[in-house]
Chain A
């Protein structure tokens, strides 16, 4: 005889009740074996995230798969896979680990298992906690995310050196011309940094609206990596320069 039941929370120990109709079969003192059939899993959503059934199931499956790695402390889905219905490029996954990074090992196993285009980043827990406080981009990334552990974005702390590290590429774009999508990504980066410094961290959608407002129709061109004229490069550099100046005054 057998039955399937959920484990429930007891005041001292978690417990499994014998169903009423089986109390004559499973009696006090009988010896039984308990086997785990399916791990219960909660998803923790941060920010405005709506999941289709497919996405929710995939996230659950990936989290369940990651459970076999004892080094994994927690994991987050973030990026366009969550914010866009279908126009996402790859599936961004951040894995917080006990000590060393091990994204290469996980990446291979995840690809083999799910055959989907994942972008895996792994980071030691200690560094993750620090970045949660000081990194505008990490905070923005996690502001719309799904994790397998309860997570709250920590109180911010301004770290000048870290901001300088993030400003390196936008600054270089003042002198170097590259493909237009790089300009788009870096203006967006500056917007996120500025909002962080202004205590105005909002959703990623707001950053896109601000981008369109600052750059007008050029915004769509550079978002799609289209060719831009010298005059347009100059206009973009003006926006970058203004943002850099404003950020510099605040750090």
Chain B
């Protein structure tokens, strides 16, 4: 798979994983919030597999971060049922996920 395709795949999984994680945080009163937090972990594991297939340079890392922010914002906007605090914690969660995947 080309680097561009890998980036797109990575962004897709990461955006979904982070949407679940953010959903579990902002809707923490739901019994199933814990389940969503686990779903997010499963998806992050998938993202890690994809991320580890390529050696990323700092230019790639910056692009991934930018693209991920745009994609995640779009994903969160579509999910109107998630509490509006979702946008407040978005940047922090992106930072944590990218650090975990060694993409910063």
Contacts and interface: CB of A to CB of B under 8 A. Distances in A.
Q: Do A and B come from one complex?
A: yes
Interface of A: 94, 101, 121, 123-124, 127, 131, 135, 137-138, 141, 161-162, 164-166, 168-169, 172, 175-179, 182
Given A135-B32, A161-B81, A176-B43, 14 more contacts: A121-B31, A123-B31, A124-B29, A127-B30, A131-B30, A131-B31, A135-B31, A137-B32, A161-B80, A164-B81, A165-B32, A178-B42, A178-B43, A179-B42
Nearest to A126: B29
A165 B39 contact: no
Contact of A169 (B13, B28, B36, B81): B36
Interface residues on B, range: 20 to 34
14 contacts: A101-B29, A123-B29, A124-B29, A131-B31, A135-B31, A137-B31, A161-B81, A162-B81, A165-B23, A165-B81, A168-B36, A169-B39, A172-B43, A176-B46
A141 B30 CA distance: 14
A130 to B, nearest CB: 9
Query: For chain A, what secondary structure do more than half of its interface residues adopt (helix, strand, loop), or is it mixed?
Result: helix
B51 interface: no
Contacts of A123: 29, 31
Interface of B: 12-13, 16, 19-20, 23, 27-32, 34, 36, 39, 42-43, 46, 79-82
A199 B83 CA distance: 29
Contacts of B79: 164, 168
Contacts of A165: 23, 27, 30, 32, 81-82
B23 A168 contact: yes
B32 A166 contact: yes
Contacts of A169: 20, 36, 39
A176 B12 contact: yes
A178 B23 contact: no
A121 B46 contact: no
B89 to A, nearest CB: 17
Given A161-B81, A176-B16, A121 B29 contact: no
B29 A127 contact: yes
Nearest to A160: B81
Nearest to A165: B81
Nearest to A185: B35
Contacts of B82: 165
B43 A121 contact: no
B4 to A, nearest CB: 18
Given A165-B82, A176-B12, A182-B42, A94 B31 contact: yes
B39 A182 contact: yes
Chain A CB count within 10 A is highest, among B13, B23, B46, B81, for: B81
Nearest to B79: A168
B84 to A, nearest CB: 13
B1 to A, nearest CB: 14
Contacts of B16: 172, 175-176
A27 B31 CA distance: 56
Contacts of B23: 165, 168
B53 to A, nearest CB: 15
List 5 tightest A-B contacts by C-beta distance, closest first: A161-B81, A164-B81, A127-B29, A172-B16, A169-B39
